[in-house]
Amino acid sequence: MEEERVKSFVKKRYGRIAESNVSCCPSCECGPDLKELGKRIGYSENDLLNAPEASNMGLGCGNPVALAALNKGDTVLDLGSGGGIDVFLAAKNVGPTGKVIGVDMTEEMIKRARATAKKYGYTNVEFRLGEIEDLPVEDNSVDVIISNCVINLSADKGKVFREAYRVLKPGGKIMISDLVTEGKLPERIRKSFDAWAKCIAGALERNEYLDTIGKAGFKKVKIVSELSYDIDVSEELKNKITSVKVEAYKISR
């Protein structure tokens, strides 16, 4: 499948979700109870109370902020920030001396997140329009990168991780929640635009995903948490999709 066609389809799908007041998983078929879906994904009751309601769109597959061990004053980058839930949660952790930058390729998502930040008076967050394969972020400027079920949507994951490496400070780390596959997926699913938008078709096999991170220059690449993923997954794919939280570091030479 052509990379640009996949990107265009995914962008339009998520643009529609951003403009909807009721959305959850990428297929928009999960129903309106986003709080319960958020808990299934990995957010605590406290997380959901501390994040603006409009930012919880039920689009993730984990809670990277919970495992990122953020410090006061950190600069954090969220790849594919969507409605901004992880940006707003991270903003509380880094405090007023820190900063959280959300990057998303969908204009509607950026507009929604910026409106939420303005409404609730967040002063240490910024949302930038851009692609995770070509980040609008300076070299060596970020302490921690987070991402939540977004990198699987990219057709060039190697480039995503090379960009992540570029913008991280030496000693910085990534904490990524994403989906991987256990074995190969059927070719018809790989070629399905709908399956791409649902974060399934673009998912790499577990070892290939970890190898891709390592080839970008990262060290100490490891899965710190995982669970079988069954939200919006067909019976055919049961037990073949896993939600993983991956940690890796940019080690100074």
pLDDT in tens, 164-199: 999 999 999 999 999 999 988 888 887 777 777 778
Query: Which percentage of the chain shows pLDDT scores above 90?
Result: 64
pTM recorded for the entire structure: 0.92
Interatomic CA distance for residues 23 and 44, integer angstroms: 20
DSSP 201: T
Bridge partners (DSSP) of residue 242 are 180, 228
CATH fold label, 3-249: Rossmann fold (3.40.50)
H/E element, 76 = strand 75-79
105: nearest Cα among 87, 127, 77, 75: 127
What pairing do the DSSP bridges indicate for beta strands 99-104 and 125-129? parallel
What is the radius of gyration, based on Cα positions, of the chain? 17
pLDDT in tens, 106-155: 999 999 999 999 999 999 999 999 999 999 999 999 999 999 999 999 98
Q: Which residues in 14-52 are b (16+ Cβ under 10 Å) and which e?
A: bbebbeeeebbbbbbebeeebeebbeebbbeeebbeebb
Interatomic CA distance for residues 155 and 153, integer angstroms: 7
Interatomic CA distance for residues 238 and 230, integer angstroms: 7
Interatomic CA distance for residues 48 and 52, integer angstroms: 8
What pairing do the DSSP bridges indicate for beta strands 125-129 and 142-148? unpaired
Map tokens 């309601």 to a residue: 53
Residue 13 clears pLDDT 90, i.e. is over it: no
116: nearest Cα among 82, 92, 149: 82
